[in-house]
Structure 1
Amino acid sequence: MGQTIIDVKDVTFHYHQEATPALSNVSFQVKQGEWLAIVGHNGSGKSTLARILNGLYIPSTGSVHVCGIQLSEETIWDIRKQVGMVFQNPDNQFVGSTVKDDVAFGLENNAIPREEMNRRIEWATKRVKMDGFLDREPHHLSGGQKQRVAIAGVLAVQPTIIILDEATSMLDPIGRNEVIETVRELKNQSSLTVISITHDLEEASKADRIIVMNGGKKFVEGTPEEVFLLDDKLVEIGLDLPFPFQLSKKLKEAGIPIQKHHLTEEGLVNELWTLRSKI
């Protein structure tokens, strides 16, 4: 991982002077090129945190630095140039009549010259494997394709950080996998920093690190392996453990000599196949 690119210190945030804060004394750092998943049930504070990182909200107390810039009313637009955001419902994000027009929207707002705009549109749509759909109308695309176009629109403006705010929650399993694999490839091919906001621990298991939010506070932070060792404590705060992890646990309890609790189906299948070959 690279240098610290996001630094959140003791952030508290209130909505309209409410007595109970939506966020309470939250602190963490994100390294350049890292994939951080922020998870929690509804009302845990994870989406509020995402909006603070993008400058949509300003903390009541505490500080946020993004790419060395301290978040304030005066620096909101400087920070938004560094952070791209993909939201939950792909249908609510389209503004163009074609895929090409939609990806061009952010570039036009930033007054990018047409020649450079065309180059970026081609580059960004290729990165998400949607360059063959430039003249398609967005409403003819599948959910996963729509979110890949939304990601292309963010990539085209070349942010340093991309935030996925429940970006897969309305997709079917195929579309969800398309988006997650696209993000994984983008991260592996570049120094792009990814923050995914989700309630899905199976999705979060793909990240480098996880922060679990509960009641507006940071409940736990660590690698997926470290976080999932909390097991029933995560269930108690309303989260569902990934199916491969649950199945690994059940198999061990049944006496099958599984060596670890697996986070992916592939890992579990591979170990079961290895055990079978030894019998």
Structure 2
Amino acid sequence: MRETIISVENITFHYDQTAPPALDDVSIQVKKGEWLAIVGHNGSGKSTLARILNGLYLPDTGKIQVCGIELTQDTVWDVRKHVGMVFQNPDNQFVGTTVKDDVAFGLENNGVKRDEMVNKIEWATKKVRMDQFLEHEPHHLSGGQKQRVAIASVIAVQPDIIILDEATSMLDPIGRGEVIQTVRELKEQSDLTVISITHDLEEASKADRIIVMNGGKKFTEGTPDEIFQLDDQLVKIGLDLPFPLQLSKRLREAGIPIKDHHLTEEGLVEELWTLHLKM
């Protein structure tokens, strides 16, 4: 069994004490090295939960531990040394005039020596395939390239956990694929823990486990296969099923004997091709 790297116990959080809570008695566990997707419609509480995990907000009640450190006002900076966050709009994260300067920013704040900093910048930008753009201005890059630079800035300080807070929602399909593939490669090459906050169930289907949020509460959790068996229940709480899953369902309704709930286009095409060869 993998060790628990994040433990959230019965947390509640209000933006306004006169309004319903944004998070209502939420408990989750995150295992070291897993990719966890937290999904939900706008207002479900998923992004609030992400910001609490990084100490941007502190819960009204409940307890959070990150890498064995209990999150409090006094420990928030210790927790942030273990957690890197990539936000929805990469332009809001850039502070340097070049890619190299931007990746260096976090290292400088952590007091990393110059020689070590140069090595870490080279390592991080190579990992995200942006090492040929070190002298480029970030604002002249494509959306996918900008997010890869934002990821390089995070991994350069080598956190244990990366939180992607709607990090692909502003990207086109190509850029989205680039970012997800980059993070997957990083995860496979190390024991990195990834938490992706998204409303895109097709993106969430690539995770090891999914937590569904609704109305500030944890609606359900499970593997992608388990979650997508819920089908219409997900639609009722405002989520769109992945296209391959919708198409699989329509094909079965049309009498085509598709066996599985396909989460990827590749899997669906492969079964259709196998079915065709048998005819």
Please indicate the TM-score interval, normalised by the length of the shorter structure: over 0.9
Identical columns (%): 78
Alpha-carbon distance in 2 for matches of 1:185, 1:257: 35
In structure 2, C-alpha distance between the alignment counterparts of 1:120 and 1:111, rounded to whole Å: 13
Shift of residue 253 of structure 1? Answer: 1.1
CA distance in 1, matches of 2:103, 2:109: 11
What residue in structure 1 maps to residue 56 of structure 2?
56
Taking only aligned residues, the RMSD between alpha carbons, in angstroms, comes to 0.8
Q: Once the 2 structures are TM-superposed, how far is the Cα of residue 16 of structure 1 from its aligned partner? A: 3.3
The CA distance in 1 between the partners of 2:139 and 2:47, in whole Å, is: 27
What is aligned with 2:185? Answer: 185
Q: Which residue is 1:125 aligned to?
A: 125
Where do residues 7-86 of structure 1 align in structure 2 (5 Å cutoff)? 7-86=7-86
Matching residue of 1:255:
255
Q: Please give the alpha-carbon distance, in whole angstroms, between the structure 1 residues aligned to 2:171 and 2:72.
A: 35
4+ residue runs over 3 A deviation: none
Aligned pairs for 1:95-174 (under 5 A) are: 95-174=95-174
Mapped partners of 2:149, 2:19: distance in 1: 40
Per the TM alignment, residue 2 of structure 1 is displaced from its structure 2 partner at its CA by 2.4
TM superposition score normalised by structure 1: 0.98
**Code of the aligned partner of 1:24:** D
Q: What's the CA shift string for 1:8-61, capped at 9, x where partnerless? A: 110111113233110011011000000000001111000100011001111111
Structure 1 SS opposite 2:8: strand
- Name the residue aligned to 1:202: 202
The residue aligned with 1:224 is: 224
Q: Which amino acid aligns with 1:262?
A: H
Please, which moves more after superposition, 153-162 or 1-10?
Answer: 1-10
- Structure 1 residues without counterparts, runs of 5 or longer: none
Q: Which runs of 5+ in 2 are unaligned?
A: none
Question: Which residue in the other structure is 2:233 paired with?
Answer: 233
- For residues 124 and 161 of structure 1, what CA distance do their matches in structure 2 show? 15
Partners of 1:190 and 1:72 in 2: how far apart?
Answer: 28
Q: Size of the alignment, in residue pairs?
A: 279
Separation (CA, whole Å) in 2 of partners of 1:67 and 1:18: 34
Cα deviations across residues 82-131 of structure 1 (Å, max 9, x unaligned)? 00000000111111111111100100111110001011001111111111
Encode CA deviations 1:226-268: one digit per residue, 9 max, x unaligned: 0111111111111000000000111111111111010001111
* CA distance in 2 between partners of 1:142 and 1:278 (Å): 45
Q: How far is the alpha carbon of 1:62 from its aligned partner?
A: 0.6
